[in-house]
């Protein structure tokens, strides 16, 4: 099976030894996205709302770079450093996944890279 690295400058460059995304056959695996501005590499703000919106936008850009759309996303994993942000996160998430509702898990974690408060990764089927 052919494996293809998915890379776009419309999302932040990887901050470690990994790819933004990997496509294999019709499947796309997108690495965890922080709320980092692609141009500066810095978090868009200290709050969950600004970081969540940017993380989802980064995720969308990588999915689109693979030739897919958010409607192709089958599963989403969300990591929050504070579960009290769950409702605020859900409101922003619902702007990106309106009538299409992928399977999803949200877990609270102790810390994230760069001091981020949210990280999002996904799997898409782009058949």
Q: Which CATH superfamily is domain 3-125 in?
A: RutC-like (3.30.1330.40)
**pTM of the predicted model as reported, rounded to 2 decimal places:** 0.96
Q: Would you place residue 127 in the very low, low, confident or very high pLDDT band (cuts 50, 70, 90)?
A: confident
The structure tokens listed for 10 are 């419309």
Give residue limits of the domains in the chain.
Answer: 3-125
Supply 109's token pair.
């974690």
Spatial separation of the C-alpha atoms in residues 39 and 110, rounded to whole Å: 27
Q: What is the pLDDT of residues 7-43, one digit of tens each?
A: 999 999 988 899 999 999 999 999 999 999 999 999 9
């Amino acid at each position: 099976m052919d494996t293809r690295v998915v890379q776009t400058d419309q999302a932040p460059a990887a901050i470690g030894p990994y790819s933004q995304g990997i496509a294999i056959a019709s499947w796309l695996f997108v690495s965890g996205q922080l709320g980092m501005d692609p141009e500066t590499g810095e978090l868009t703000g200290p709050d969950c709302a600004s970081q969540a919106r940017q993380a989802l936008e980064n995720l969308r850009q990588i999915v689109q770079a693979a030739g897919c759309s958010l409607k192709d996303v089958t599963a989403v994993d969300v990591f929050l450093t504070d579960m009290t942000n769950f409702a605020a996160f859900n409101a922003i998430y619902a702007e990106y996944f309106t009538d299409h509702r992928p399977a999803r898990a949200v877990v609270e974690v102790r810390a994230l890279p760069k001091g981020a408060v949210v990280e999002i990764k996904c799997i898409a089927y782009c058949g």
